[in-house]
Amino acid sequence: MKTLTRRTVLKTTAAAGALPIIGSSAYAADPLKIAFVYLGPIGDHGWTYAHEQGRQDVIKKFGDKVQTTIVENVAEGPDSERVIRRLAEEGNQLVFTTSFGYMNPTLKVAKRFKNVKFEHATGYQRAKNMSTYNARFYEGRAVCGTIAGHMSKSGVAGYIASFPIPEVVMGINAFTLAARKVNPKFETKVLWVSSWYDPAKEADAAKALIDQGADVIAQHTDSPAALQTCEQRGLMAFGQAWDMSNFAPKAHLTAIVNRWGRYYEARIQQMLDGNWQAGDTWWGFKEGVLEMSPYNDVIPADVQAAAEATRAGIIDGSGNPFTGPINDNTGKERLAEGVLGDGDLHKMDWYVEGVQS
């Protein structure tokens, strides 16, 4: 994985600082002006870092046909509206706002600037000039579940979860369903820590889950603290949002990596071709916005093959993670046959059999 050096940070910052003085007159030969609004610093090695990698992919692919601007550390709420408005005023033609909390500010600015196109990540509000996009993270969870089902000796996984929103719930369910396909007695113990990011608490949660019999830890929180705990105790865990193996070379089995660049490239190509249209996009493995980081060598070859088979099944549609019959954890049948639709996933508020929450 590419590590971020201080120098690249300085370069990016300098470039961002220089941009506001660039004129706003738009000739046909001018590059397409694109802006990205980031929640965190690009050095967070998590959510924002992944979006920044997407922007790097865009620069690599389109070169001087595009000119990109970034604004880091933009707080959700009124501040973000000011930032988005300024980016629109400065003549950016396409603005990516990369966090859920930018939804209403983006919509407000989109209504004012009809000629500017907006792309909002993970939201549900759309307009003629405002699209939404997200990734099917649960597909990666299913691959992790397959690995956990094979690797766990106790048949119990610990799952450190942030908040019980559909996105997190569907991840827990996809993970558990895949693991139970391998080991029908597999159980997932979920521990809610009510935070996206609290390293000390995540570490303590991991310890609590391990003490309760879990020997593999999955997480829907952002710090590598749980991985470090597993490394110290000689157990296994999955990284979150990016390859965290340097924190836990032995414990880190794999991680779901977000490759937003695939989506950014497609949308920018449409802008250049003049056929951009607002819509809602939910891509996964098939479209390349999700990848698994390299499998750890401690995973035997046949388990790696099983994980790859899960991935291949998701890509060709034969192995949808939510294929019936599915019972919930109270024993009630939720789906007899077929697969759950996107609408069901978007409002998922129940747990599959084997989840202890």
Partner 1 sequence: MTYSLLIPILMTIVGAATPILLAALGELVVEKSGVLNLGVEGMMLIGAVTGFAVTATTGSAPLGVIAAMIASAASAGLFGFLTLTLTANQVATGLALTIFGIGLSALAGEGYVGQTVDVFGSVFPASLSEHPTLRVIFGYSPLVYLSLALVAAVGWFLSRTRAGLILRAVGESDLSAHSIGYSVIGVRYMAVLFGGAMAGIAGCFYSLVLTPMWAEQLTAGRGWIALALVVFAGWRPVRLLLGAYLFGAVMTLELHAKAAGFSLVAPEFLAAMPYLATIAVLAAISARKTGMSLAPACLGKPFKPSS
Q: Considering the complex, what minimum distance in angstroms separates the CB of residue 274 from partner 1?
A: 40
CB 60 to partner 1: min, Å: 22
Nearer to partner 1 by C-beta: 160 or 348? 160
* 84: Cα separation from own chain's centroid: 22
Longest dimension (CA), the chain: 65
Contact 138, 103 (CB under 8 A): no
Return the number of the residue (40 or 54) whose C-beta is nearest partner 1. Answer: 40
- With respect to partner 1, which residue has the nearer C-beta, 192 or 282? 192
Least Å distance, CB 99 to partner 1, is 15
Q: Which is nearer to partner 1, 252 or 259 (CB)?
A: 252
- Provide the residue type at 192 as one letter: W
Tell me whether residue 119 or residue 187 sits nearer to partner 1 (CB atom).
187
**Could you tell me if 143 and 178 are in contact, meaning their C-beta atoms sit under 8 angstroms apart?**
yes
The nearest distance, CB 193 to partner 1, in angstroms, is 7
Nearer to partner 1, 154 or 304 (CB): 154
What is the contact surface with partner 1 in residues (CB under 8 A)? 3-6, 9, 40-41, 43-45, 158, 189, 191-195, 197-205, 207-209, 211-212, 214, 223-225, 228, 232, 246-247, 356
Burial of 215 (0-12, 13-18, 19+ CB in 10 A): buried
Report, in Å, the least distance between residue 218 CB and partner 1.
14
Give min distance, CB of 225 to partner 1, in A: 4
37 or 161, CB closer to partner 1? 161
Shortest Cβ 131–partner 1 spacing (Å): 30
Token couple for 130: 């405002």
> Which CB sits closer to partner 1, 163 or 295?
163
What are 232's two structure tokens?
Answer: 């110290």
Q: Which is nearer to partner 1, 232 or 318 (CB)?
A: 232
Contact call for residues 138 and 321 (beta carbons, < 8 A): yes
SS (H, E, C) the chain: CCCCCHHHHHHHHHHHHHHHHCCCCCCCCCCEEEEEECCCCHHHCCHHHHHHHHHHHHHHHHHHHEEEEEECCCCCCHHHHHHHHHHHHCCCCEEEECCHHHHHHHHHHHHHCCCCEEEEECCCCCECCEEEEEECHHHHHHHHHHHHHHHCCCCEEEEEECCCCHHHHHHHHHHHHHHHHHCCCCEEEEEECCCCCCHHHHHHHHHHHHHCCCCEEEECCCCCHHHHHHHHHCCEEEECCCCCHHHCCCCEEEEEEECCHHHHHHHHHHHHHCCCCCCEEEECCCCCCEEECCCCCCCCHHHHHHHHHHHHHHHHCCCCCCECCEEECCCCEEECCCECCHHHHHCCCCCECCEEC
CB of 258 to partner 1, least distance (A): 17
Smallest separation (angstroms) from partner 1 to the CB of 59: 21
200 or 336, CB closer to partner 1?
A: 200
Nearest distance, CB of residue 46 and partner 1, angstroms = 9
